[in-house]
Amino acid sequence: MTATLLAKIWEQLGVAATSRSPFNFLQLATSGLDGAPQLRTIVLRRCDAGRGTLSFVTDMRSPKIREIRSDPRVALVGFDPAASVQLRLSGEAVISDDEAARLEMWQSLRERTLILFDAPHAPGTVLDDNGQPLQAGEPSDEEAYARFALVTVTLNRLEWLDVSSEHHVRYAFDRDGATWRGARLAP
Ligand SMILES: Cc1cc2nc3c(=O)[nH]c(=O)nc-3n(C[C@H](O)[C@H](O)[C@H](O)COP(=O)(O)O)c2cc1C
């Protein structure tokens, strides 16, 4: 059962990385610089089942980048409402310095995503009602591409919780070198 379920999880993550499906949007948790939890939605952009990694893109200037640099441990959660399944993941995030991988991802993004990196203000900058920044600071003269971050999370644990029936079913998979050790857990 565990091998079949593990394959199913990776298959669903693979589908989610390439199309609108329940786990296409995941909630990403980091530790804030003050230690408080920080949580936000991200779009899953890539899944590599062989390496056990997931990738997303973000703005290099966003707080989550500083948080990941300070503490790379992250958690992710997704929920498929039609199947009543929660997928809970954890691992270590790396901000990619692989130029080929960055460029490949950049070139795969649609115009409406690329345009986000044109924004002159760092995410979270306070704006007035007209969209102008209230905070002091020069708009960045960096190119949009320089603001583009590809973040890859090497997962070390995956958890599947199915609450579709009266008897909830929960499994966990922990990384064990190149393989995964699965176990059924009390829900
Ligand atoms: C549907 C949806 C998808 C999003 N996808 C991303 C994403 O892929 N990358 C990203 O950096 N922010 C994404 N955001 C915005 C983040 O949730 C967050 O507000 C923003 O990145 C600032 O986060 P931070 O201040 O924690 O760095 C998305 C928001 C929504 C509502």
The three-state (H, E, C) secondary structure of 76-117, written as one string? EEEEECCCCEEEEEEEEEEECCCHHHHHHHHHHCCHHHHHHH
The predicted pLDDT at position 134 comes to 59
Asked if residue 127 is part of any domain, the answer here is no
| Inside any domain, residue 136 | no
Written as six digits, the tokens of 72 are: 């790379």
Q: What confidence tens digit (pLDDT) does each residue in 18-57 have?
A: 999 999 999 999 999 999 999 999 999 999 999 999 999 9
Tally of domains in the chain: 1
Cβ pair 136, 121 in contact under 8 A:
no
Helix/strand/coil for 151:
strand
What's the CA-to-centroid distance between 168 and ligand 1, angstroms? 31
Tell me, yes or no, whether 132 lies in a domain. no
45 is a domain residue = yes
Q: What is the pLDDT averaged over residues 103-125?
A: 90
Q: Which pTM does this prediction carry?
A: 0.94
The answer as to whether 133 is a domain residue is no
Residue 95 lies in a domain: yes
pLDDT at 139: 46
Q: Residue 79: CB within 6 Å of ligand 1?
A: no
Residue 139 vs residues 115, 127, 135, 142, 143: alpha-carbon distances, Å = 16, 13, 11, 9, 11
- The answer to whether the CB of 41 is under 6 A from ligand 1 is yes
Residue 28: domain span: 2-121+142-185
In the reported structure, the alpha carbon of residue 183 is separated from the centroid of ligand 1 by a whole-number distance in angstroms of 32
Distance CA 92, CA 56 (A): 13
Q: Which of 40, 43, 46, 105 is the best mutation target for the ligand 1 pocket, counting ligand atoms within 8 Å of the beta carbon and taking the most?
A: 40
Per-residue pLDDT tens digits for 130-176 = 877 655 455 454 578 999 999 999 999 999 999 999 999 999 999 99
Q: What is the pLDDT of residues 48-77, one digit of tens each?
A: 999 999 999 999 999 999 999 999 999 999
**Domain contains 27:** yes
Is residue 55 situated within a structural domain? yes
CATH code of 175's domain: 2.30.110.10
